[in-house]
């Protein structure tokens, strides 16, 4: 059995300022799904080095000449940025993997855990939303422009979470919930954090562009049927069931081995 610290401290308090920001992000980021401009990642220096990462499927950061930097749509990143993007993807992938692992252990209907963990991508494209699940590619794409100022703090906090996990799982989980900056992106909040929101789209197999993707949904989980529940509430219901089965303790156990 996993102990369940999540149940003791479900909500992390956010300041009024953070709250306003979160709501603004939710409205601006979640309601509209237009890609404003296609971009590509371009490395800051022209020195050749490692092959491009999995950070984006549609763009390559390799071997761009400096003249290309001047092209419209080039998003210049340093080696450090690229590293932080990869840590960010590792973090999201770890959380999503355990989320799905636990989801498959619970009795559910109308929740699509069986299709596997969505691919996580960071894209340089400009868009009016932070992240978007695409049901065709079964991928969650996060816009670099929205996270670039926070990537370093997310990556450092994830490293700290990993270090703590190697010593004590519980203290790692408490760090994640109470102190880690990445919690706003992947943790339990109201409104739902970005990744929980997008995972819920994946579980319902709908994208932001699919009609009323934030309408009401009927599903069952862990023996309870939830009828015609607003999308935002479905995020909380599913997250809470998975958290109550030790989501974060299991993440800590896994990353302790990384
Ligand atoms: Zn949405």
Q: Give tens-digit pLDDT for 221-247.
A: 999 999 999 999 999 999 999 999 999
What pLDDT does 35 receive? 73
The pLDDT of residue 61: 43
| Cα-to-centroid distance, 110 and ligand 1 (Å) | 17
The encoded tokens of residue 154 equal: 């997310």
* Predicted local confidence at residue 20, as pLDDT: 65
**What is the CA(235)–ligand 1 centre distance, in A?**
10
pLDDT at 24: 61
**CA 49 to centroid of ligand 1, rounded, Å:** 37
Which residues line ion ligand 1, judged by CB < 5 Å?
Answer: 30
Per DSSP (E only), the strands in the chain are 35-37, 40-43, 74-77, 108-109, 119-123, 126-127, 131-134, 139-143, 216-221, 224-230
Ligand 1 midpoint to CA 115 (Å):
19
Span from the CA of 33 to the centroid of ligand 1 (angstroms): 9
Is the pTM value of this prediction over 0.85?
A: no
Instruction: Check residue 36 and give its pLDDT.
Output: 75
pLDDT level of residue 10 (50, 70, 90 thresholds): very low
pLDDT (tens digit per residue) in 107-154: 999 999 999 999 999 999 988 888 999 989 999 999 999 999 999 999
- CA 258–ligand 1 middle distance (angstroms): 31
Q: What is the mean pLDDT of residues 45-62?
A: 47
Å from CA of 233 to ligand 1 middle: 12
What is the reported pLDDT for 206? 84
Distance CA 230, CA 234 (A): 6
Alpha carbon of 213 to ligand 1 centroid (Å): 6
């Amino acid at each position: 059995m996993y102990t369940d610290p999540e149940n003791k401290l479900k909500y992390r308090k956010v300041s009024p300022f953070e709250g306003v920001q979160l709501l603004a992000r939710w409205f601006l980021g979640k309601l509209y799904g237009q890609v404003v401009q296609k971009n590509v990642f371009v490395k800051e220096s022209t020195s050749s080095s490692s092959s491009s990462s999995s950070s984006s499927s549609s763009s390559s950061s390799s071997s761009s000449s400096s003249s290309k930097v001047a092209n419209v749509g080039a998003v210049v990143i340093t080696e450090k940025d690229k590293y932080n993007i990869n840590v960010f993807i590792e973090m999201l992938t770890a959380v999503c993997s355990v989320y799905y692992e636990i989801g498959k252990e619970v009795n559910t209907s109308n929740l699509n855990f069986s299709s596997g963990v969505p691919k996580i991508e960071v894209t340089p494209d400009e868009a009016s939303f932070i992240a978007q699940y695409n049901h065709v590619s079964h991928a969650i794409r996060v816009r670099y422009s929205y996270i670039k100022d926070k990537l370093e703090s997310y990556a450092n906090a994830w490293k700290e979470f990993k270090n703590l996990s190697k010593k004590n799982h519980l203290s790692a989980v408490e760090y994640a919930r109470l102190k880690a900056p990445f919690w706003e992106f992947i943790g339990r909040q109201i409104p739902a954090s970005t990744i929980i929101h997008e995972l819920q789209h994946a579980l319902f197999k709908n994208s932001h562009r699919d009609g009323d993707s934030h309408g009401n949904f009927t599903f069952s989980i862990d023996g309870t049927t939830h009828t015609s529940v607003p999308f935002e509430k479905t995020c909380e219901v599913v997250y809470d069931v998975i958290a109550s089965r030790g989501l974060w303790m299991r993440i800590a156990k896994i990353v302790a081995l990384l």
